[in-house]
Amino acid sequence: MHVGHRRIMAAARELSARLSLPIAAIIPLDNYKDGITITSTDTSKSANTLPSHRLMTDAERFFALRQEGAAAIIKDEMSDDMFCDAAAIVCGEDSPFAQNPKAFVIPLVRDDKNNVVSGELIKKLLSEGDAEGAARLLGAYYSFESEVLHGARIGHRLGVPTINQRIPKEKYTPRSGVYFVRVRICDMTYNGVCNLGVKPTVSNSADDIICETHLFDCSCNFYGALAKTEFLYYRRSEKKFTSLDELRAVIEADMAAAREFFATNPKSI
């Protein structure tokens, strides 16, 4: 969900309040079959299982459609059936539903270089390690949520214990490297430093990408807990070191830089 989607939802909320009517959201997703309907009371498939569930916090009913599915609906003139009870449709100007006579069309949002804000543009920024640029277009820090896994405890041996996570398959994986992060876990929030990648100094696996995070001022055991990790700032690329002592020295420098970052960016704390 990016700033363009947020504008659409803000307009939908305003219109919903004015008309005293509920909101139904249509989300283009490749992960679900065309025409699947998900309600907020559906216990078999909670809205929270959808990658874009934040988009739907104010909606009572959701339709998940592939992009070509949406086009097919219009081509087959089935949109009248879908929208027969709709008082209005709020959408972006590039939406296949923008031509519907009930549509309230929201202009496309552009960045400071006049690029249209899109998922592809955000992925490009993340692939370059531009966590701050991606956050500006998302309207929030890029994040993922997954279970804390057991690791090899190498960080513990180095005096910098970590929590280990895998990024869910449906989420885009940013550029490998060291990030300053914020982690929400067990109703607590911690600042920290993470290495996202294959840990080349201590692992021979070239494709097992792990997010390994040291949490500041924390000594809790979080194995099995669900943690949300937000990427705030990209510090450096992943590197293979010649020894654990060299690795420890660089980690300590990363930690010092991260603490300075959080001290001078209070809004990030």
CA-CA-CA-CA torsion sign (119, 120, 122, 126)? positive
The mean pLDDT value for 254-267 works out to 91
Tens of pLDDT, residues 219-238: 888 999 999 999 999 999 99
pTM, to two decimals:
0.80
d(CA 13, CA 29): 22
Tens of pLDDT, residues 73-109: 554 544 555 666 788 888 889 887 888 888 889 999 9
DSSP letter string over 138-153? HTS-EEEEEE-B----
pLDDT of the residue at 198: 85
Please check whether residue 209 is in contact with residue 197, taking contact to mean a CB–CB distance below 8 angstroms. yes
Pull the structure tokens for residue 245. 């002592």
Indicate whether 243 pLDDT > 50: yes
Indicate whether 48 pLDDT > 70: no
d(CA 78, CA 99): 14
pLDDT of the residue at 44: 37
The mean pLDDT value for 10-28 works out to 83
Please check whether residue 109 is in contact with residue 1, taking contact to mean a CB–CB distance below 8 angstroms. no
pLDDT of the residue at 189: 95
Greater confidence (233 vs 169) lies with: 233
Greater confidence (260 vs 13) lies with: 260
Greater confidence (237 vs 39) lies with: 237
d(CA 213, CA 155): 9
Indicate whether 266 pLDDT > 60: yes
Q: What average pLDDT does the structure give for the chain?
A: 81
Confidence of residue 72 (pLDDT cuts 50, 70, 90): low
Give all domains of the chain, ordered by start, each with its CATH number: 3-106 (no CATH), 119-268 (2.40.30.30)
Coil vs helix vs strand at 36: strand
Coil vs helix vs strand at 75: helix
Residues above pLDDT 90, as percent of the chain: 44
Confidence of residue 132 (pLDDT cuts 50, 70, 90): very high
pLDDT of the residue at 215: 96
Coil vs helix vs strand at 91: strand
pLDDT of the residue at 45: 35
Greater confidence (105 vs 170) lies with: 105
The mean pLDDT value for 138-160 works out to 88
d(CA 91, CA 166): 34
pLDDT of the residue at 269: 44
pLDDT of the residue at 165: 96
pLDDT of the residue at 133: 95
User: Which DSSP category does 31 fall into?
Assistant: T
d(CA 101, CA 104): 9
The mean pLDDT value for 122-130 works out to 95
Indicate whether 115 pLDDT > 90: yes
Please check whether residue 214 is in contact with residue 193, taking contact to mean a CB–CB distance below 8 angstroms. yes
